[in-house]
Structure 1
Amino acid sequence: MKNLLFLLSAILLMVVLGACSNEEASKGEENKEDAAAAKTEAADESKEVRSALLSYQGEVTKVIRNTEASITAEDQDAAEVAAAFEKDAKAVSVPEELSDYAQDIEASVESLSQYYAKKAELLKAGSEEMAEAEPFKEEYINTMTKVFEDVELSAPVFNSVFH
């Protein structure tokens, strides 16, 4: 009789332990599925941020190229072109996906506005040397390069956009 009770206790103990281990295994699988879903969501969000940055930079590059073409044109007032740049660049809104970088992006646009204002001032004074304006351009390039690196994209060759 003692042997039978001992055997039944051992079987009951094995059943209980088996049930517990299955419960733990299913919890582990759920955790793995949750982690995979979170990783996929983060990857999708990262793609959206990269795409938004490339699109935004493309729009700003168009404004820069138009400004570069206009600011040195003989029939254009450089100060008016610089003011138009500021208006046009600020009209390119920072996409919502880039909200974490909006402050840096807006600061870089401000640097470009200062660059064109200084360049216009120098051109109006008859100077061909733009060294005084260059720090503003470099500040723009450095800030935007950092944003590109933060979202794990290779930064464009910004100097190729400027004349």
Structure 2
Amino acid sequence: MRNALDARMVATWERKGWGHEWLDDDDGRLGRSEDGAHSQPYRSISEARERVERSRREVTRDQIISETSFGLWAQLVSNSHKALWPDLASAFPFAPNRDQAAVAGPVGKLRTFRNRVAHHQKLYNKRPEDHHAQLLKLAGFIDPSVKAWILDHSYVGLVMQRKP
């Protein structure tokens, strides 16, 4: 998802002739407002850049993208960034009717679940199989062959069947 969305952001900035890297959005096109609303994408990008610098790696756009959080991408497809959706929708060419809600809903749920996993919260009552299905659905929205690859190579389904 990250790479598909990044590719769409790059294409949008180039097509519209905005003349700089979307990660360096000084013009507020990611939605920054005077009152600080919608500033999370900027914080996420800044934090990613800082992680690259702290690791003493060369600060390149690819390194910054690789350090971005799932939260950044969830933000960009969320309702708080509706203005971006017409350009980002093509990152999900197999989503029904290019519908933002069809993507934003599952992404938001996966973000919440991912955070629970990362913070070692109990999951047994959170129906992980539903989240796995959401992940597969999103992969299929990007490319059905990616969904098929995940199904062919992942052990998650087997582990969930065993209910450890």
Q: TM-score scaled to structure 2, two decimals?
A: 0.31
Structure (1 or 2) with the greater helix fraction:
1
Q: TM-score scaled to structure 1, two decimals?
A: 0.32
Larger radius of gyration: 1
